[in-house]
Structure 1
Amino acid sequence: MAGSRSSRLQSFQARAIGTLWRFLSGWSLKALWCVARRLGPLVHLLSRREREVTDTNLAVVYPDMPADERRSLARQSLCHSAATMLELGHAWIASPARVEAHILAVYGRDKLDDARAQGRGVIVLAPHFGNWEVLNFWLSSHFPFTAMYEPPKIADLEPIIRHGRERMGASLVPTNSRGVAALLKALKRSEAIGILPDQEPDWGSGVFAPFFDRPAYTATLLPKLVARTQARVVTGVALRVPGKGFVIHFLDADERVYSEDDVTSATGVNVSVEASIALDPAQYQWEYKRYRKVVEEAEGVANANDYRLY
């Protein structure tokens, strides 16, 4: 009985969310940004979890920034996070021509074209910055593109999300060994793949490397892919121009990402993410618990208070 109620609730939630996305897909980006600008301060005021994680991350990353500037940055960041959620209908459901028209410029495309001309695949590090779904839209519109995909917690949303992400030709693969094999095959075909570089992996799938000078548990998938394919690595972001559209940037990754040493490569990944954040720190998703895992936990030490942030 309880399972049946839970299933009905999830089905209702999925229908409600899907209806909202379809409704918002017809809104202008200017209107969506106007709503996001009002939601951000409300989230900061009313959501203790989002406020505390965002404020804690910013205090760690920008310790010398005056407190009032950090509070302002936190509210701006939550505005951009709200905008990303509101823009999902635009990225997934609006007509492809309309989405493409809102991509105002693309910088660094030559990095992808040159690598593929040399017979090399391209690994795109896509941090949670700006609107990463618009980045997925552009990449899958212009290149054979493969990315890992983890089904949503609300199972009934999966058809909508998969259709939105795959509609321009992207291939989604599972976050397991079968998915890694698919990524390798795509790179060996000189195609592009996407990796989330700033999401904490499960224990055993990462190492601690500095992220803004603080140890952060970072995935080690990248050096394995590079070693077996000689792929080129770039960082890709879709920078929001509020109310107008997006500017896509492809940046050369830090050279350390090509190291065979896991810690050195992970350090290069984190430095590459830092470089993309520098484009506009307010557009990074600071409410994610990037420092959740700590060194002491990995070493089995009981008292982890010295490093724990959350």
Structure 2
Amino acid sequence: MATGKSRSSTLQARAIATLWRSLAGRRLSSLWRMARLVGPLVERLSRRERRVTRANLYEVYPSRSDAERRELSRQSLTHSTATMLELGFAWMGAPERVEAAILEVHGRELLDGARAEGRGVIVLAPHFGNWEVLNFWLSGHFPFTAMYEPPKLAPLDPIIRQGRERRGAHLVPTNPRGVAALLKALKRCEAVGILPDQEPSWGSGVFAPFFDRPAYTATLLPKLVARTEARVVTGVALRLPGKGFALHFLAADERVYAPDEATSATGVNASVEAAIALDPAQYQWEYKRYRKTPEEAEGRPDFKRFRLY
């Protein structure tokens, strides 16, 4: 018999899925207008998102004025709102509509060139623009494997999985079995996707500078490169508000190929910074990227004094 909690989760999942389906057929111009209305409300009413976004922006852009950072915070939360509203479009919209919304593709030769050399391609896909549109394009144009962690709301899992896999993407778990699947895909000269800006669990990363502040960064990348000689690129789907998307594939910072994990992680973060520079407002600054601290890792009893959040 279903518990009250499971029934509640099922009802929440149905409501969210219904919203996604209702928005799937909307024009991007309509979704952007909605985001412009809702985003400022999120910035005003959601204390957590506003506080974390502003704290991050204070750290990474210290030379900007308070007014400039507040405006960038508002723009960032508007773009994050747009991404949420566009999920139905990316996962459930007619494939030909989603493909037609990708108006520009820059740097595809980096992917094609690597595969022509008999190498796999690791795509670093930060939380920038609409990364689901990026997944849609990659899985439609290349054999593509990506790690996937089921959502906390379990009934949404089959819906999200179907949306991400509908163009042929192969989703693998975030565990050793998933890592093995990534290695096999790279050895077949395929493309794999990695989230470079998601904070890993203790023991799975190192501290490396991200906008000159230490951020705990995953060390999966150098392990994959060392065993496959894959090429690394950064990929983002830049939003062209109300019109569509421009995909940008950028050569990763050369330090990502270093065998030293700290050096490689520094290259990963530099690669993410280069992507953010395309339009800082489109990065998801509400994520607690600096949650873990070196002081905490060292077991210092006073580490809480150094916490950003």
**Counterpart in 2 of 1:300?**
299
Inter-partner Cα distance in structure 2 for 1:22 and 1:216: 37
Match of 1:256 in 2: 255
Computed over aligned residues only, the root mean square deviation of the Cα atoms, in angstroms, reads 0.8
Alpha-carbon offset, residue 261 of structure 1: 0.3
Equivalent position of 2:150 in the other structure: 151
C-alpha distance in structure 1 between counterparts of 2:301 and 2:230, whole Å: 41
Distance 2:68 2:109 in 1: 37
Give the match for residue 93 of structure 1.
92
3-state secondary structure, aligned to 1:305: helix
- Aligned match of 2:188: 189
Q: State how far apart, in whole Å, the 2-side matches of 1:205 and 1:307 are.
A: 22
SS at 1:129 equivalent: coil
TM-score, with normalisation over the residues of structure 2?
A: 0.99
1:103 equivalent in structure 2: 102
- Structure 1 stretches lacking a partner, 5+ long: none
Aligned partner letter, 1:218: T
Does 1:130 find its partner at 2:92?
no
**Residue 234 (1) aligns with residue 233 (2):** yes
1:50 is aligned to 2:49: yes
State the percentage of identical aligned residues: 75
CA distance in 1 between partners of 2:35 and 2:293 (Å): 33
What residue number does 1:78 align with? Answer: 77
SS of alignment partner, residue 200 of structure 1? coil
Q: Deviations over 1:214-236 (max 9, x none)?
A: 00000000000000000000000
Q: Deviations over 1:95-139 (max 9, x none)?
A: 110000000010000000010011100000000000000000000
Task: Name the CA distance, whole Å, in 1 between partners of 2:113 and 2:49.
Answer: 41
1:306 Cα offset (Å): 4.4
Q: Find the counterpart in structure 1 of residue 160 from structure 2.
A: 161
Other-structure match for 1:121 = 120
Whole-angstrom distance in 1 between the partners of 2:169 and 2:66: 42
Structure 2: distance between partners of 1:242 and 1:303: 45
User: Which stretches in structure 2 are left out of the alignment for 5+ residues?
Assistant: none
Determine whether 1:217 maps to 2:216: yes
| Aligned-residue offset at 1:40 | 1.3
2:175 maps to 1:205:
no
CA distance in 2, matches of 1:184, 1:160: 27
Deviations 1:31-59 (A, max 9, x none): 00001011111111111100000000000
Q: Which runs of 4+ in 1 moved over 2 A?
A: none
Following the alignment from structure 2 to structure 1, what is the Cα–Cα distance between the partners of residues 123 and 147? Answer: 12
One-letter amino acid of the counterpart of residue 175, structure 2: N
- In 2, the alpha carbon distance for the partners of 1:279 and 1:177 equals 34
> 1:295–1:307: 8 Å Cα contact kept in structure 2?
no
Give the whole-Å Cα distance in 2 for the aligned partners of 1:65 and 1:306: 25
1:171 is aligned to 2:170: yes
Count of residue pairs brought into register by the alignment: 309
